[in-house]
Amino acid sequence: MHHALLLIQFAIPALVYFAVSVAMRHTLSAEDIKWLLPNYMFMAGPHIALGLAAVAFSRLRRNLAANLVAANVALICFAAWLVSQVPPRETGLAWVLYLPLACLVLALAWLIRVRRSKRPRAASASTR
């Protein structure tokens, strides 16, 4: 079950690519299929980096799913902003902001986890 969830997390950048293509042009074309791999590699860059880091450093494996969720939230929010607020002629340039934003979101998720882990645990109820 865990591996299936990870595969879904890694598939979301491809789904976002197709969703943005349809939202911008109201159709899916052969050009979209042609450019799927390079665009997927760009959109899934943070996902791939997280996966490689989890393979290299076993301590990162336990948080991989949470980190992938954070990366997907950043990607989906960025794509929604792009489709709703950026003029179609400017979208290519706007994608330059995605990787720094994804890194910022992942750093924020890491800081939240570190802060929570340093918080003192609530004392368990005392027994009589």
Which tens digits make up the pLDDT trace of 84-105?
999 988 988 999 999 999 999 9
pTM: 0.84
* Cα gap 16→119, rounded to integer Å: 36
pLDDT bracket for residue 41 (50, 70, 90): very high
Token representation of residue 66 = 């949470």
* Cα gap 89→94, rounded to integer Å: 10
What pLDDT does residue 125 have? 55
On whether residue 125 sits in a domain, the answer given is no
What pLDDT does residue 1 have? 47
On whether residue 126 sits in a domain, the answer given is no
What pLDDT does residue 126 have? 53
On whether residue 96 sits in a domain, the answer given is yes
Q: Cβ–Cβ contacts within 10 Å for residue 84, how many?
A: 8
Token representation of residue 31 = 């050009």
Tally of structural domains, the chain: 1
- Mean pLDDT score across all residues of the chain: 88
On whether residue 40 sits in a domain, the answer given is yes
What pLDDT does residue 39 have? 93
What pLDDT does residue 122 have? 62
- Domain span at 40: 2-118
* Cα gap 74→126, rounded to integer Å: 43
One-letter amino acid for residue 123 of the chain: A
Q: Per mean pLDDT, which range of 51-55, 69-73, 121-125 is the poorest?
A: 121-125
Closest of 102, 89, 90, 100 to residue 16, by C-alpha: 102
* Cα gap 119→114, rounded to integer Å: 9
